[in-house]
Amino acid sequence: MTDTVIDLSGGTTSATLTDGTILTASPQGDAGTGNYDTFLVLGAQNTESGFNTDGSPLPLDDKQQEHTNALLLSSMQVVTVGGHDYYVFKLDANEPNSATGSLLSLDSLKIYSATDPNITDLSVLQSQPPLYDMDGNGNVTVQLNAGKDAPAGSGQGDLFVYIPTSFFTGATGNYIYLYSAFGTPSGSDGGFEEWGVITRHSQGPAIGIDKVTVDGAVKADGLTILTGEAISWQYTVSNTGNVALSNIVVTDDHNVVITPVLGDATHNVGDINHNDLLDINEHWIFTGSGSAITGDYANVGTVSGTAGAVTVSDTDGSSYFGAAPDIHIEKVTVDGALKGDNLTILTGEAISWEYTVTNGGNVALSGVNVTDDHNNVVVTAVLGADLVHNVGDTNKDNKLDTTESWSFTGTGVAGIGAYSNIGTATGSFTDTAGDPATPTDTDGSGYFGANAAIKIEKVTVDGATSGDGLT
């Protein structure tokens, strides 16, 4: 497919793509590393590409470790234009001041999300669909005049990309990765290119916290976790202002003990330059631990920091649902119209057993099965009118819901004397992190097999003598 070239290098300074993205080359604000909310710096490589990360070594053509960083979605500012909401990414490019050398083409722009801020392998990002792909509009190439003496130049931004916030609703992680590639017409042959973003910070000290619940390898809000499991919370603290912060303190409203995640013996793993200050674009990590309780649970993390005499703070909550899977079985013996335990039944009569299974927990159960400890009793499900689902599976989802009662039956023939057997019900549940539970329950039932019989003995009596065959 032929590229659609959007030429913003001349008199035209803005364009709107079919997906609602706005591109503008109008000068806006001060650029320059450190003044641009920079999170990605790319070095001149003619054909140039890269993406932001906290990982090391930097991937592809990324340069300047101190200005290439992971980007928290929560730190990005929503900008409203014409009644529509956008996130705004800003490009400051540096190209030679010549008739052709000043031109730069943005050939690819893709946005990904992830829970890991340290990804350095592009294939890891490409293993998932991007949140946003500029080529979704039809192989778009944006041509810029990024020369040092161009109207924008290196003193102001060269390109502002307004991406509708609706593209970010499918984010699977709290970190945003921007991948870009530059190339024709003249290639990236000048200084470095840097991407910035409009964030929530004001022109002063500000701090942000993002809290998520952690169950094994899964990090998110709203997880379903098996009751009693060991869990933790991750608190990611960012400097959303424009001055370094000290005295960083993280607390939790449920008295969770918070500890920093260290990169060495003394410094937070996010304290890149080991100066004990939360610098701009640094992301410090803290953690707390506990055990999952049953039902809905939520707690709120709070961070504070200082810049001189000013104290700034932020809060963020996280929640989970504690799953307590449970199953219950009740077994009775059935003789005609009578149901119960310890019935007296004539030996040789056809009898049956009824097994009623209910959910005593707070989550639906899959794989419900009933067995009997006497192998000659074959237990089968009592099916509904569709002859597929258990008669008690009212919503026909093949799960034993907390409001349902499923029926099973087994048959046999009454024996002689005391008899008992035991029914066992099992089910299964798997939480968000893939941790399984297999609740089980048993119940027995018995009867007495009555062998009704009578015996007669006849003899002949002659005086004091009795017997058979007398003379």
- Residue 134's nearest CA partner among 9, 12, 15 is 15
Q: Mean pLDDT over residues 133-137, rounded? A: 88
Q: Residue 154: is its pLDDT beyond 60? A: no
Choice between 54 and 466, residue whose per-residue pLDDT is larger: 54
> Which pLDDT value is given to residue 148?
44
**CA proximity to 39, closest of 261, 193, 154, 244:** 193
Neighbours of 53 (CB within 10 A): 26
Q: Distance of CA 402 to CAs 370, 382, 409, 417, 432, Å?
A: 18, 19, 21, 39, 19
Residue 205 and residue 312 in contact, taking contact as beta carbons nearer than 8 Å: yes
Say which DSSP state 342 is in.
S
pLDDT of residue 193: 82
Residue pair 404/389 in contact by the 8 Å Cβ criterion: no
Mean pLDDT score of the chain:
87
- Spell out the residues 6+ positions from residue 305 whose beta carbon is closer than 8 angstroms to its own: 205, 207, 237, 239, 245, 246, 247, 248, 249, 278, 311, 312, 313
Over residues 272-281, the mean pLDDT reads 92
DSSP string spanning 420-470?
EEEEEEEEEEE-TT--EE--EEEEEEEEEEE---------EEETTEEESS-
Length of the chain measured in residues: 471
Residues 6+ positions from 440 with CB-CB distance below 8 Å: 327, 424, 425, 426, 427
pLDDT number for residue 191: 63
Average pLDDT over residues 108-114: 96
- Burial of 471 by CB count in 10 Å (0-12 exposed, 13-18 middle, 19+ buried)? exposed
Over residues 173-232, the pLDDT tens digits come to 999 999 999 876 555 665 678 898 877 654 567 788 999 999 999 999 999 999 999 999
Amino acid identity, position 169:
T
pLDDT of residue 11: 61
- pLDDT at 20 (0 to 100): 93
In the predicted model, is pLDDT for residue 389 greater than 90? Answer: yes
In one letter, which amino acid is 317?
G
Which tokens go with 312?
């700034």
Angle subtended at Cα 172 by Cα 402 and Cα 221, rounded to the nearest 5 degrees: 50
Q: What is the pLDDT of residues 390-434, one digit of tens each?
A: 999 999 999 999 999 999 999 999 999 999 999 999 999 999 999
pLDDT for the residue numbered 26: 58
pTM, rounded to two decimals = 0.56
Number of CB atoms found within 10 A of residue 106's CB: 25
SS3 75: helix
Q: State the residue for tokens 């509708």.
A: 164
- Please check whether residue 108 is in contact with residue 135, taking contact to mean a CB–CB distance below 8 angstroms: yes
Mapping DSSP to helix (H, G, I), strand (E, B) and coil, where does residue 316 land? Answer: strand
Residue 408 contacts residue 352 (beta carbons within 8 Å): no
At residue 10, the pLDDT reads 66
Tokens of 397: 């989802």
Q: CA 411: distance to chain centroid? A: 46
| Whole-number pLDDT of residue 230 | 96
Model confidence over 244-274: pLDDT tens digits?
899 999 999 998 999 999 999 999 999 999 9
- pLDDT number for residue 204: 60
274 three-class SS:
coil
Q: How far are the Cα atoms of 93, 104, 285 from residue 421, in angstroms, in the given order?
A: 80, 82, 57
The contacts of residue 260 (CB under 8 Å, 6+ apart) are 268, 269, 284, 285, 286
